[in-house]
Amino acid sequence: MSSESAFARTPDPPYFAVIFTSQRTGENDGYAPAAARMVELAATQPGFLGIESARDAQGFGITVSYWTSTEAIARWKANAEHVVAQELGIRTWYRHYELRVAKVERAYAKAAA
């Protein structure tokens, strides 16, 4: 993503962040549509605040999604369609990932002029 829409428009803290850091395998089968679908689906979930994502040419990526509460994060984790995608991710698309749940306490910005 390259436009302003790549930035999440989050409220004033506190809120919660899921930091998902991953290294892709070389297996692309089904990945792009599933990833796009998960972004679309996440955006419909209660408590979703936004998402930001970047992946480099070597397949290393960071996605941060923002949520109102840890309960909202737990519900999203348990979403049936998301559970299927998580399973495929573990088996097929990600060689290694780290997932961290964090409480955002402070935020600053420089917006585009």
What does the binding site for a second copy look like in residue numbers (CB under 8 A)?
1-2, 4, 6-8, 10, 13, 17, 19, 21, 23, 52-64, 70, 90, 94-113
Quote the least distance from Cβ 10 to a second copy, whole Å: 8
Which of 13, 8, 77, 10 shows the shortest CA–CA distance to 45? Answer: 77
CA geometry: angle 55, 56, 58, nearest 5 deg: 120
Which of residues 57 and 80 has its CB atom nearest to a second copy in the complex? 57
Work out how close the CB of 85 gets to a second copy at its nearest, in angstroms, rounded to a whole number.
14
